[in-house]
Structure 1
Amino acid sequence: MIELHRIGHTHEPFSLNPSLVVSIEAHPDTTLLLATGARLVVAEDPQRVVELINGWHATVAAAAMKAYVDATGDDPPGGPVPLHSR
Structure 2
Amino acid sequence: MAKRLIPTLNRVLVEKIVPPSKTTAGILLPEKSSKLNSAKVVAVGPGDIDKSGNKIPVSVKEGDTVLLPEYGGTQVKLGDKEYHLFRDDDILGTLHD
More helix by share: 1
The two structures have a TM-score, normalised by structure 1, of 0.26
The two structures have a TM-score, normalised by structure 2, of 0.24
More strand by share: 2
